[in-house]
């Protein structure tokens, strides 16, 4: 972890690039979170009065947007990748594939770039460094779809689970909900990003910081695009008849701690894990897959070509077999003719012998 700080200092002037993906069911507060994180309306909220179509998202295609942020004097080019929220079961498989396809395409681009002889100077690394998975604030436990999605995506990206719209739960409900979620994640062996640390290797500060963040998982998120004035201070929050929920107040939500982990303390770690571990695993899998079937992947023969080729080979083989059969047939026929002639000759000889015998008998009489 020491080199994390070193790398940070070196890059302070130039700034950092970071890519964050947000995934979750429709209405869990993804868009609001992104706009809260960036401090302005990066993603437009759709206005929809019709409950029948409220869950349908316009842009099914994933479109990343990049914003420039200033994080305590450090420039950060933050790319946000919003994904279509899923609603009913029919949409789900399509969403999974859309998200997975996007993640893997970014790895494929790097793989292709790495194998080029001449590097493209304008090449952009669009790999996703962290994925926030928004869990709906049901207060129960994880749904099957949450488990499946996190399980499928975790091998490809740093998944960080969060509870959206956490202000809809009471503090006690939230504590229980968090506990049950982590029990499920444990039980189903979902390899989420859990702020890894090594008590032996890392310094005390890192160990403490990471175990604190780990204990907060899944982060309870409150988002708001509204600015309110509370006791003369301007804050972002949500106004309720009984009071104000402050987005950046640690007592009200984990938003501020998640924000600083993503954009400051753990930015470098998330990027390193993406490159050294997740991308590396993908690369190995992909290369060993193509080594298993070299003819198809390496020489780029189209399936049509392969089919025609195999038909031609079979035809040639059949023809050769036919020729061999005809040869055998001719040989057998020749042998039969020879045998028949032999037989005829023997019959003739026999007939001659009989005639001679008959003659001899007649003359002796």
Ligand X SMILES: Nc1nc2c(ncn2[C@@H]2O[C@H](COP(=O)(O)OP(=O)(O)O)[C@@H](O)[C@H]2O)c(=O)[nH]1
Indicate the pairing of strand 227-230 with strand 233-240: antiparallel
The C-alpha atoms of residue 346 and residue 343 are separated, in whole angstroms, by 5
Segment (H or E) for 110? helix 89-114
The minimum distance between CB 34 and Mg ion, in angstroms, equals 8
218 touches, from Mg ion, ligand X, none (C-beta below 5 to 8 Å by class): none
The C-alpha atoms of residue 304 and residue 175 are separated, in whole angstroms, by 59
The C-alpha atoms of residue 27 and residue 24 are separated, in whole angstroms, by 8
**Backbone angles phi and psi of 192, in degrees to 5:** -70, 170
For ligand X, the closer CB: 26 or 268: 26
The minimum distance between CB 116 and ligand X, in angstroms, equals 38
| Cβ proximity of 230 and 238 under 8 Å | no
The minimum distance between CB 164 and ligand X, in angstroms, equals 6
Q: Is 222 in the site for ligand X (CB under 6 A)?
A: yes
Neighbours of 150 (CB within 10 A): 23
15 touches, from Mg ion, ligand X, none (C-beta below 5 to 8 Å by class): none
CA distances from 179 to 138, 151, 193, 207 (A): 14, 18, 17, 21
Size of the site for ligand X (CB under 6 A): 16
- Interacting residues with ligand X between 162 and 221 (CB under 6 A): 165, 167-168
The C-alpha atoms of residue 360 and residue 365 are separated, in whole angstroms, by 9
The minimum distance between CB 253 and ligand X, in angstroms, equals 8
For ligand X, the closer CB: 156 or 165: 165
Residue range at the interface with ligand X (CB under 6 A); choices 28-36, 107-115, 194-202, 333-341:
28-36
How many residues make up the chain in this entry? Answer: 365
Q: Is 30 in the site for ligand X (CB under 6 A)?
A: yes
Q: Is 45 in the site for ligand X (CB under 6 A)?
A: yes
For ligand X, the closer CB: 168 or 264: 168
For ligand X, the closer CB: 24 or 271: 24
Among 16, 23, 29, 150, the residue binding ligand X under the rule CB under 6 A is: 29
What is the SS3 assignment for 291?
A: helix
Interacting residues of 121 by C-beta distance below 8 A, sequence separation 6+: none
The minimum distance between CB 238 and ligand X, in angstroms, equals 6
The minimum distance between CB 163 and ligand X, in angstroms, equals 10
**Backbone angles phi and psi of 358, in degrees to 5:** -60, -40
19 touches, from Mg ion, ligand X, none (C-beta below 5 to 8 Å by class): none
| Cβ proximity of 263 and 69 under 8 Å | yes
Residue 229 structure tokens? 């004035």
For ligand X, the closer CB: 82 or 269: 82
| Cβ proximity of 153 and 99 under 8 Å | yes
154 touches, from ligand X, Mg ion, none (C-beta below 5 to 8 Å by class): none
The minimum distance between CB 167 and ligand X, in angstroms, equals 5
The minimum distance between CB 45 and Mg ion, in angstroms, equals 7
Mask 48-87, x = binds Mg ion (CB under 5 A)?
----------------------------------------
Count Cβ neighbours within 10 Å for each residue of 244-276 and write b for 16 or more, e otherwise. Answer: bbbbebeebbbbebbbebbbebbbbbbbbbbee
- Interacting residues with Mg ion between 15 and 54 (CB under 5 A): 30-31
What is the SS3 assignment for 209?
A: helix
Among 7, 15, 27, 64, the residue binding ligand X under the rule CB under 6 A is: 27
Q: Is 31 in the site for ligand X (CB under 6 A)?
A: yes
| Cβ proximity of 125 and 142 under 8 Å | no
| Cβ proximity of 162 and 219 under 8 Å | yes
For ligand X, the closer CB: 31 or 106: 31
141 touches, from Mg ion, ligand X, none (C-beta below 5 to 8 Å by class): none
The residues binding ligand X (CB under 6 A) are 24, 26-32, 45, 85, 165, 167-168, 222-223, 238
The residues binding Mg ion (CB under 5 A) are 30-31
């Amino acid at each position: 972890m020491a080199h994390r700080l070193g790398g940070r200092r070196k890059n302070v002037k130039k700034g950092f690039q970071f890519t964050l993906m947000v995934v979750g069911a429709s209405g869990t507060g993804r868009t609001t979170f992104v706009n809260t994180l960036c401090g302005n309306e990066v993603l437009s909220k759709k206005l929809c009065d019709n409950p029948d179509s409220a869950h349908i998202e316009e842009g099914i295609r994933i479109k990343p947007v990049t914003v420039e942020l200033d994080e305590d004097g450090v420039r950060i080019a933050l790319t946000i990748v919003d994904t279509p929220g899923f609603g009913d079961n029919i949409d789900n498989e399509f969403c999974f594939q859309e998200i997975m396809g996007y993640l893997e395409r970014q790895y494929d681009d790097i793989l292709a770039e790495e194998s080029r002889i001449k590097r493209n100077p304008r090449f952009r690394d669009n790999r996703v460094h962290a994925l926030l998975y928004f869990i709906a604030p049901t207060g129960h436990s994880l749904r099957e779809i949450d488990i499946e999605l996190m399980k499928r995506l975790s091998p490809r990206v740093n998944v960080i689970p969060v509870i959206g719209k956490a202000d809809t739960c009471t503090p006690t409900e939230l504590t229980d909900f968090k506990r049950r979620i982590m029990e499920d994640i444990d039980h189903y062996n979902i390899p989420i990003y859990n702020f890894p640390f090594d008590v032996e290797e890392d310094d005390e500060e890192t160990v403490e910081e990471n175990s604190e963040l780990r204990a907060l998982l899944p982060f309870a998120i409150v988002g708001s695009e509204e600015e309110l004035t509370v006791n003369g201070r301007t804050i972002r929050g949500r106004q309720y008849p009984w009071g104000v929920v402050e987005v950046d107040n640690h007592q009200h939500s984990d938003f501020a701690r998640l924000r600083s982990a993503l954009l400051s303390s753990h930015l470098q770690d998330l990027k390193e894990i993406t490159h050294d571990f997740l991308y590396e695993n993908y690369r190995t899998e992909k290369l060993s897959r193509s080594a298993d079937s070299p003819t198809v992947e390496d020489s780029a023969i189209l399936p049509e070509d392969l089919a025609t080729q195999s038909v031609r080979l079979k035809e040639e083989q059949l023809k050769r077999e036919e020729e061999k059969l005809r040869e055998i047939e001719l040989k057998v026929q020749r042998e039969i003719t020879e045998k028949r002639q032999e037989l005829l000759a023997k019959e003739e000889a026999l007939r001659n012998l009989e005639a001679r015998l008959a003659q001899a008998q007649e003359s002796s009489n």
